[in-house]
Amino acid sequence: MTSSPGVMAPSGAGLAAIRAITLDFGNTLAPVPATGLRAVVEAMTDRVAGPFGVEREPFVVAWREERDRQFREDVPQFREADMAIRFARVLARLRGTPPPTGGLPWDDVAAAGRSTADEIGFGVEVYSRAFVDGLPPDPTVEPLLSQLASRFRLAVLSNWPIAASIDAYVDAAGWARHFDALVVSQRVGTIKPDVRIFRAAEAAFAQAAARRGEAAPRPSEILHVGDDWAADVVGASRAGWHAAWLRNRPADSPLPDSMPDGSVTPALVLEDLDELAGALGL
């Protein structure tokens, strides 16, 4: 294998056996800088503040604080942040329920009593659309996926609070034809690095292979590509997969991140996603 500039691949990585590749979504397939996510939140707020009967700026502040609270509470427990719960907490705050302090948890049953199911459903739908509209796809990704799909089976494997947002984004970008499956934490019920989400991706590959009359890829024949060391590299390695660590991500991205801890060795280290095809000999 000839490595492209910026690519590091340890010897004996076994990449010649790869038959399938999963790709993380946020900051791998789709860069999510803080400025872009702020624009998404602001566009969403412009649409929901009036129907919710709340002021715009307090909504934005409460949204960011509750997002950060969910990351602190949920990620260590391998839970995906629930966007319906976030909307309910934000509306509860703006309708008179003070947020918990001193590390105490929300009473989510009481918080949910300050909003309706229709309001929450509307908010989640608006947020999802604002995300798709507000973060246009990188034009280099489509030709890369086309190149990879000429040899490998592909899937998205992502931690993301609204699976429908990834569905819509992939459709709008024209990427859907390249993927066997979109495996998203909200649907699976756990987040990377929990091995169960990797097993869910294996099952999705197996189902697609069965429809084609092919043998399903084994764990040792799957490569996962992602930017978060703990979630993507450690998680894939624990599942018996190969891992490629993508080092280049927006420096200001608010999405969870972690750095190498020396516990595992990735099969590839990439500076940019567009190096992947060359690293795999395409």
In tens digits, what is the pLDDT along the chain, a chain of 282 residues?
334 445 444 433 478 999 999 999 999 999 999 999 899 999 999 999 999 999 999 999 999 999 999 989 988 888 888 999 999 999 999 999 999 999 899 999 999 999 999 999 999 999 999 999 999 999 999 999 999 999 999 999 999 998 999 999 999 999 999 999 999 999 999 999 999 999 999 999 999 999 999 999 999 999 999 999 999 999 999 999 999 999 988 888 888 888 899 899 999 999 999 999 999 999
Give the CA count within 13 Å in the CB-facing half-sphere of 246. 27
- Return the domain boundaries, the chain: 15-32+137-279, 35-133
**In this predicted model, what pLDDT tens digit does every residue of 97-155 receive, in sequence order?**
999 999 899 999 999 999 999 999 999 999 999 999 999 999 999 999 999 999 999 99
CA distances 257 to 71, 134, 157, 252, Å, are 11, 22, 16, 11
- The arrangement of secondary structure in 15-32+137-279, i.e. its CATH architecture, is 3-Layer(aba) Sandwich (3.40)
pLDDT at 5: 44
What is the spatial distance between Cα 171 and Cα 159, in angstroms, rounded to a whole number?
Answer: 18
Strand order in the sheet with 20-23: 179-184, 153-158, 20-23, 222-226, 242-246, 268-270
pLDDT at 33: 92
What is the spatial distance between Cα 34 and Cα 32, in angstroms, rounded to a whole number?
Answer: 7
pLDDT at 8: 45
CB neighbours (10 Å) of residue 106?
A: 20
- The answer to whether residues 231 and 256 touch, using CB atoms and an 8 Å cutoff, is yes
1 DSSP 8-state letter: -
CA distances 258 to 12, 128, 245, Å, are 25, 26, 11
